[in-house]
């Protein structure tokens, strides 16, 4: 949880790259107020999430993006957890054994991965951290792998 005095500082947008460069690469990583973030460009939209998977800290920037149940998802390369790019929901397949056909259906675990706001201004891409007052499961690994920015003199 972030102290109230730091909230305003942490809510300021941070430059993470040029729009054309990120579109070309389709993903990049950046440190935003000491937090490792991955920025994706997929389907004509920018998305930003904590870089480490909420499940076990897997490196989401190395995962593949797939369309699942009409939603763009990053697949964690470690344990194949599926996370929506837009909301950070964890998705899984479930069956109802009482149904005669027992066809797997996609279900949501809820918003597990922290997402952040991406803005583009004059060809520059910025990330603003989401409100850190509400706990998300990815916060554990974001703190564990936190990088401290060297103070500028």
CA distance 131 to 111: 14
* Residue 9: per-residue pLDDT: 57
Give this prediction's pTM: 0.87
SS3 assignment, position 5: helix
The CA-based angle 129-144-1, given to 5 degrees, is 50
The DSSP call for residue 143 is: H
Digits of tens for pLDDT over the chain (153 positions)?
A: 445 545 555 789 999 999 999 999 999 999 999 999 999 999 999 999 999 999 999 999 999 999 999 999 999 999 999 999 999 999 999 998 888 887 899 999 999 999 999 999 999 999 999 998 999 999 999 999 886 443 333
* Residue 47: per-residue pLDDT: 98
CATH class of 4-146: mainly beta
Question: Is the torsion defined by CA of 136, 137, 140, 142 positive or negative?
Answer: negative
* Residue 101: per-residue pLDDT: 80
End-to-end CA distance of the chain: 27
Instruction: Write b or e for each residue in 68-96: b if 16 or more Cβ atoms lie within 10 A of its Cβ, otherwise e.
Output: eeebbbbbbeeeebbbbbeebbbbeeeee
């Amino acid at each position: 949880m972030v102290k109230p005095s730091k909230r305003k500082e942490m809510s300021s947008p941070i430059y993470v790259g040029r729009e054309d460069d990120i579109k070309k690469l389709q993903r990049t990583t950046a440190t935003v107020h000491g937090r490792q973030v991955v920025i994706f460009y997929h389907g004509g939209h920018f998305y930003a999430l904590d870089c480490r998977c909420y499940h076990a800290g897997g490196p989401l920037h190395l995962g593949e993006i797939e369309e699942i149940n009409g939603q763009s998802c990053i697949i964690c390369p470690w344990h194949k957890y599926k996370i929506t790019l837009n909301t950070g929901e964890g998705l899984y397949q479930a069956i109802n054994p009482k149904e005669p056909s027992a066809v797997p259906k996609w279900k949501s675990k809820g918003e597990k991965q922290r997402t952040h706001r991406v803005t583009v201004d004059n060809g520059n891409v910025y990330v603003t951290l989401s409100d850190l007052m509400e706990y998300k499961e990815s916060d554990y690994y974001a703190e564990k792998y936190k990088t401290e920015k060297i103070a500028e003199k």
